[in-house]
């Protein structure tokens, strides 16, 4: 360091320093190691080093939290390389951050400074004001950090537009935990005629929060009311017609001022969380599911996670590419089955209403807030380019009008919430279905007229027959119940009285419900002796009937292994068919590995233990048990964890057993779960112990990556998890698969071996896959492994969620209840 630089630093250090105060004036400075603390002790301003970085930044963080949570960074793109950073306030009212006499960051105050002072407020807002002037709305501030948010919105901060000055406030993720410079993900308000917030990944639309509909953002319609914060949205009635309005923004306030709430964008999601005693409690994370991904189903299609096929064409539309649609590549969307007839003055188009949806992308819309829905309908039908319309404000009885022009993109169907959307269809499209219904009605009238006399004359005979059938049904039920109980007694399995289970589960109280699947619900219960149980209550209208019920009981009753869930007994009473299992305190594996908060509890040693445990359980099923059993539905939700995180395979309703040396079979009734099925089983119904091996390989990848096979998105949007793993393996970059949360705790050699084994498991042809016995040996030794071949269902020109080509099921057999103790 030369003499001039040294003297400059020494002179700067001679400026009177301040420590643990809330403000600095022109005569004061803030150096590395010193901080400003807001008057109420809520926030702190100072220099920090993020993560493992050696670079220094000026930032603001929560003062009272044991772990540092930075909410604002001044010099995001220009870090300081040593501890010689100095923050000063100029006479012109601007903060200057410098290093070695070189400015690395500064503010630009637009108002005239008289006697400036910089102060950190208890709101987390760093402001510059003239001494003696305060304004909670910021009107008297020369400059404020709230106008320049980073990755976090604090209560009272505005996210949106200052239309007076054409100035936007948006939040942008950090590039990484070690680098606060702007990352790829950002959240901002786009000023369409019907404005809405977008989560952007670079320049690509990643997720829509949806427009404000008077009650909430339509993309968040299914979110439950929370006790922590309130949303507020301030906007023009319509930019084209109310030019005197000058702001449009989003903000939130806390219902309890003592709560610490974080609303931020990380490298992957938009996250809302609250600080508890020692950690952040996640309230919501967006995107929440695959249907939140922008345009996942393409144009004129709706997405619903409650459907077996996630994407379905809207009424009156058909897949643009039926072949790709059959392969679950939905990105090309749908097209009209019958063109609109608006150019024909003799024919008028009609409208079909969808209930409970997230309205489409609003890029091409017109908004009229002063007209009602009936006039909106007329205007849409009179405009040949109008494709849909709805209310712009659904509070009260609904008001306003928004009309769409062009393709309808990014529609999501909600189970609860959402709003009505009126979609324009050709008249013939609706008349076709109406005509079919009309034919049915006419035929019914004729039938009724011609059979009235016969019906009256046969009434007496019918009554006699009905009495007979009732008596016969009662007898059949009694016989069926007796047969079931006889089967169960032959298995030497405890039979629970129905009243015992009703008492244990508080009459199947919703508060005791811990799981839901295609075959029914799962309830937590406690027996009179204090033993906790999990009760699987088979739905009366589920696909699992007596056959599946007895199958599950027969198989699990004969199985005893530390990595299989233990069946304690069962109960048959009236219409009830109940299975009573040991209660698993830590629930299902999927609730950990796919959850950003709970996932931190499973570091690499625990995950490796779970992998081994599942593998040993499958070895027992395939080889060591009295019956050779193929599970046929191995997945993360069917692996339960006890209080010590030991894994136990559950749900044997779809399992098949064999005797002797038989290891495979064939069926016309393919059941299982999308994303885990082996290709030969999904396509041809051929299942074997190698089908379970394939499922184990998928599960192994999910444990390593923390992502679902169907939910991972590669940058080119063509790969599911299996395809992505194969790609990075061939490129020599297999370590990219490791989830960030376990990178520090993982043993690299063990992880690489697990990745290698997983790819051997998911190979296209069954004969190439190893047995579970070989897999246990591979995982527990350093034996040399063969090079894997291309996996089954490896996507080429398909969507990242492409799974099996022929997922065959006539009901909800692809959804299976898991006995988890959430």
Residue 203 or residue 521, greater confidence: 203
Burial call 738-777: b when 16+ CB within 10 Å, e when fewer? bbebbeeebeeeebbbbbbbbbbbbbbebeebbbbbbbbe
| Res. 525 pLDDT band, cuts 50 70 90 | very high
Which whole number is the average pLDDT over 361-365?
Answer: 95
Residue 461, pLDDT score: 54
Residue 195 or residue 625, greater confidence: 195
Taking the mean position of all CA atoms in its chain, how far away is CA 240? 36
Residue 540, pLDDT score: 58
Residue 548, pLDDT score: 60
Bridge partners of 274, per DSSP, are 261, 281
Neighbour tally for 343: CB within 10 Å: 8
Question: What is the rounded CA–CA span in Å between residue 235 and residue 41?
Answer: 33
Residue 72, pLDDT score: 97
Residue 697, pLDDT score: 95
Residue 659, pLDDT score: 52
Question: What is the rounded CA–CA span in Å between residue 655 and residue 467?
Answer: 41
Tell me the pLDDT tens digit for each residue of 664-693. Answer: 555 444 556 767 888 887 776 788 899 999
Residue 119 or residue 556, greater confidence: 119
Residue 487, pLDDT score: 55
CB 45 within 8 A of CB 73: no
At residue 595's C-alpha, the angle toward residues 590 and 601, to 5°, is 90
Domains in the chain, start-ordered, CATH in brackets? 1-148 (2.90.10.10), 153-288 (no CATH), 295-430 (no CATH), 479-582 (3.30.200.20), 590-779 (1.10.510.10)
Average pLDDT, the chain: 79
At residue 627's C-alpha, the angle toward residues 626 and 629, to 5°, is 135
CB 292 within 8 A of CB 412: yes
Whether the ω angle into residue 168 lies within 30 degrees of 0, i.e. cis, is no
Tell me the pLDDT tens digit for each residue of 317-353. Answer: 999 999 888 888 899 999 999 988 765 555 577 889 9
| CA distance between the termini of the chain | 61
Which whole number is the average pLDDT over 611-640?
Answer: 89
Range of lowest pLDDT (34-48, 67-81, 540-554, 647-661)? 540-554
Residue 694, pLDDT score: 94
Query: Could you give the percent of the chain with pLDDT greater than 70?
Result: 76
Q: Give me the DSSP letters along 197-244.
A: EEEEETTEEEEEEE-B-SSSBGGGTTSPP-SSEEEEEE--S-TTT-TT
Residue 8, pLDDT score: 43
Residue 432, pLDDT score: 55
- Give Cα separations from 44 to 165, 207, 272 (angstroms): 30, 33, 22
> Minimal CA–CA distance to 677: which of 808, 553, 526, 549?
808
- Kind of pairing between the strands at 28-31 and 16-17: parallel
CB 531 within 8 A of CB 585: no
536 known ligand binder = yes
Burial call 268-291: b when 16+ CB within 10 Å, e when fewer? bbbbbbbbeeeebeebebbbbebb
User: Is 2's pLDDT higher than 70?
Assistant: no
Q: Is 648 helix (H, G, I), strand (E, B) or coil?
A: strand
Q: Edge to edge, what strands does the sheet with 204-210 contain? A: 171-176, 179-190, 196-201, 204-210
Contacts 24+ apart (CB under 8 A), 505-514: 505/535, 508/537, 514/587, 514/819, 514/820, 514/821, 514/822
Which whole number is the average pLDDT over 43-69?
Answer: 93
Which whole number is the average pLDDT over 713-717?
Answer: 52
Residue 799, pLDDT score: 29
Tell me the pLDDT tens digit for each residue of 530-557. Answer: 899 999 887 655 445 565 666 667 767 7
Residue 447, pLDDT score: 41
Residue 204, pLDDT score: 93
CB 61 within 8 A of CB 68: yes
Report the sign of the C-alpha dihedral through residues 686, 687, 689, 691, in that order: positive
Which whole number is the average pLDDT over 91-95?
Answer: 93
Which whole number is the average pLDDT over 31-59?
Answer: 95
DSSP secondary structure code for residue 627 in this structure: S
Range of lowest pLDDT (25-34, 96-105, 717-726)? 717-726
Q: Is 4 helix (H, G, I), strand (E, B) or coil?
A: helix
Q: Is 753 helix (H, G, I), strand (E, B) or coil?
A: helix
Tell me the pLDDT tens digit for each residue of 392-450. Answer: 988 877 889 999 999 999 999 987 778 999 999 988 776 554 444 344 334 444 444 44
User: Is 598's pLDDT higher than 80?
Assistant: yes
Tell me the pLDDT tens digit for each residue of 177-230. Answer: 899 999 999 999 998 889 999 999 999 999 998 898 888 888 887 665 555 555
- Which residues lie closer than 8 Å to 462 by C-beta, 6 or more apart? none
Q: Is 821 helix (H, G, I), strand (E, B) or coil?
A: coil
Tell me the pLDDT tens digit for each residue of 228-276. Answer: 555 554 544 333 223 336 788 888 877 777 778 888 998 888 888 888 7
Residue 230, pLDDT score: 55
Question: What is the rounded CA–CA span in Å between residue 705 and residue 725?
Answer: 10
Cα Rg for the chain, rounded, in angstroms? 32
Neighbour tally for 74: CB within 10 Å: 23
DSSP secondary structure code for residue 628 in this structure: E
Question: What is the rounded CA–CA span in Å between residue 385 and residue 382?
Answer: 9
Residue 279, pLDDT score: 73
Residue 339, pLDDT score: 87
| Res. 91 pLDDT band, cuts 50 70 90 | very high
> Minimal CA–CA distance to 91: which of 71, 107, 72, 114?
114
Residue 215, pLDDT score: 81
Question: What is the rounded CA–CA span in Å between residue 751 and residue 608?
Answer: 9
Residue 539, pLDDT score: 65
Which whole number is the average pLDDT over 89-100?
Answer: 93
Residue 346 or residue 600, greater confidence: 600
- Give Cα separations from 467 to 70, 81, 462, 470, 471 (angstroms): 76, 92, 9, 5, 6
Bridge partners of 529, per DSSP, are none
Residue 12, pLDDT score: 44
Residue 134, pLDDT score: 65
Residue 519, pLDDT score: 67
Catalytic residues, by residue number, are: 633
- Which residues lie closer than 8 Å to 463 by C-beta, 6 or more apart? none
- Which residues lie closer than 8 Å to 663 by C-beta, 6 or more apart? 622, 628, 688, 689
- Give Cα separations from 394 to 222, 351, 398, 530, 605 (angstroms): 15, 19, 4, 50, 51
As a three-state string, the secondary structure of 536-599 is EEECCCCCCCHHHHHHHHHHHHCCCCCCECCEEEEEEECCEEEEEEECCCCCECHHHHCCCCHH
Residue 537, pLDDT score: 86
Range of lowest pLDDT (65-69, 97-101, 343-347)? 343-347
Taking the mean position of all CA atoms in its chain, how far away is CA 735? 25
- Kind of pairing between the strands at 411-413 and 301-303: parallel
CB 49 within 8 A of CB 68: no
Question: What is the rounded CA–CA span in Å between residue 308 and residue 607?
Answer: 29
**Residue 725 burial (10 A CB sphere; 0-12, 13-18, 19+):** buried
Residue 229, pLDDT score: 53
Tell me the pLDDT tens digit for each residue of 461-507. Answer: 554 454 445 444 444 444 344 555 555 555 567 788 888 888 898 88
As a three-state string, the secondary structure of 407-435 is CCECEEECCCCCEEEEEEECHHHHHHHHH
CB 629 within 8 A of CB 654: no
């Amino acid at each position: 360091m030369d003499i001039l630089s040294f003297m400059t630093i020494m002179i700067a250090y001679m400026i009177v320093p301040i420590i643990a105060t809330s403000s600095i004036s022109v005569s004061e400075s803030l150096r590395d190691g010193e901080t400003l603390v807001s008057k109420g002790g809520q926030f702190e301003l100072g220099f920090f080093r993020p993560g493992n970085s050696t670079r220094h930044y000026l930032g603001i963080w929560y003062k009272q939290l044991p772990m540092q949570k930075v909410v604002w960074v001044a010099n995001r793109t220009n870090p300081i390389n040593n501890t010689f950073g100095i923050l000063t306030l100029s006479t012109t009212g601007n903060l200057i951050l410098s290093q070695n006499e070189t400015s690395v960051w500064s503010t630009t105050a637009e108002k005239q400074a008289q006697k400036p002072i910089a102060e950190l407020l208890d709101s987390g807002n760093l402001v510059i004001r003239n001494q003696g002037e305060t304004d909670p709305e910021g009107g008297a501030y020369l400059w404020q950090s709230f106008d320049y948010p980073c990755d976090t919105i604090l209560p009272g901060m505005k996210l949106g537009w200052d239309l007076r000055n054409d100035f936007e406030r948006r939040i942008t993720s950090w590039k990484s935990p070690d680098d606060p410079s702007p990352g790829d993900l950002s959240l901002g308000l786009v000023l369409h005629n019907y404005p809405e917030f977008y989560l952007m990944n670079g320049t690509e639309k990643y997720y829509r929060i949806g427009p404000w509909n008077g009650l909430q953002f339509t993309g968040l319609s299914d979110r439950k009311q929370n006790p922590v914060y309130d949303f507020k949205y301030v906007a023009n009635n319509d930019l084209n017609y109310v030019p005197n309005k000058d702001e449009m923004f989003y903000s939130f306030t806390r219902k309890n001022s003592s709560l610490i709430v974080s609303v931020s964008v990380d490298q992957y999601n938009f996250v809302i969380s609250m600080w508890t005693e020692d950690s952040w409690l996640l309230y919501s994370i967006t995107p929440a599911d695959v249907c939140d991904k922008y345009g996942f189903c393409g144009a004129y299609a709706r997405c619903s996670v409650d459907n077996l096929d996630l994407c379905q064409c809207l009424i009156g539309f058909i897949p643009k590419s039926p072949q790709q649609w059959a392969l679950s590549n939905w990105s090309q969307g749908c097209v009209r089955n019958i063109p609109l007839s608006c150019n024909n003055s003799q024919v008028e188009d009609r409208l079909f209403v969808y209930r409970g949806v997230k309205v489409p992308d609003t890029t091409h819309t017109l908004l009229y807030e002063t007209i009602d829905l009936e006039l909106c309908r007329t205007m849409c039908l009179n405009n040949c380019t109008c494709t849909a319309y709805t209310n712009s404000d659904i509070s009260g009885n609904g008001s306003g009008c928004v009309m769409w022009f062009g393709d309808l993109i990014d529609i999501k169907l909600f189970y609860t919430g959402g709003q009505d959307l009126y979609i324009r269809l050709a008249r013939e499209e609706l008349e076709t279905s109406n005509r079919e219904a009309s034919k049915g009605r006419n035929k019914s009238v004729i039938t009724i007229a011609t059979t009235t006399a016969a019906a009256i004359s046969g009434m007496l005979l019918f009554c006699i027959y009905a009495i007979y059938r009732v008596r016969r049904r009662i007898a059949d039920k009694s016989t069926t119940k007796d047969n079931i109980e006889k089967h169960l007694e032959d298995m030497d399995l405890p039979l629970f009285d129905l009243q015992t289970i009703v008492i244990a589960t508080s009459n199947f109280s919703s508060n005791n419900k811990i799981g839901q699947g295609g075959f029914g619900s799962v309830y937590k219960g406690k027996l009179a002796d204090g033993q906790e149980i999990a009760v699987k209550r088979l739905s009366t209208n589920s696909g699992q009937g007596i056959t599946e019920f007895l199958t599950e009981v027969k198989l699990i009753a004969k199985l005893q292994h530390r990595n299989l869930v233990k069946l304690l007994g069962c109960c048959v009473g009236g219409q009830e068919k109940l299975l009573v299992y040991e209660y698993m305190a830590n629930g299902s594996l999927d609730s950990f590995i796919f959850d950003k908060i709970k996932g931190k509890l499973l570091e690499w040693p625990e995950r490796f233990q779970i992998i081994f445990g599942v593998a040993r359980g499958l070895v027992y099923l395939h080889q060591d048990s009295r019956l050779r059993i193929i599970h046929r539905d191995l997945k993360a939700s069917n692996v339960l964890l006890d209080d010590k995180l030991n894994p136990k395979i559950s749900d044997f309703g779809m399992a098949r057993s064999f005797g002797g040396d038989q290891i495979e079979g064939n069926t016309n009734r393919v059941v299982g779960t999308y994303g885990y099925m082996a290709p030969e089983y999904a396509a041809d119904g051929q299942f074997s112990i190698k089908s379970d091996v394939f499922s184990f390989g998928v599960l192994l990848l999910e444990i390593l990556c923390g992502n679902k096979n169907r939910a991972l998105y590669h940058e080119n949007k063509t790969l599911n998890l299996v395809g992505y793993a194969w790609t990075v393996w061939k490129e020599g970059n297999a370590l990219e698969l490791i989830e960030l949360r376990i990178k520090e705790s993982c043993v690299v050699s063990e992880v690489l071996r697990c990745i290698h084994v997983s790819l051997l498991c998911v190979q296209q042809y069954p004969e190439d896959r190893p047995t579970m016995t070989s897999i246990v040996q591979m995982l527990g030794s350093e034996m040399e492994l063969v090079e894997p071949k291309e996996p089954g269902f490896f996507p080429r020109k398909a969507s990242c969620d492409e799974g099996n080509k022929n997922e065959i099921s006539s009901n909800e057999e692809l959804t299976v209840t898991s006995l988890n103790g959430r």
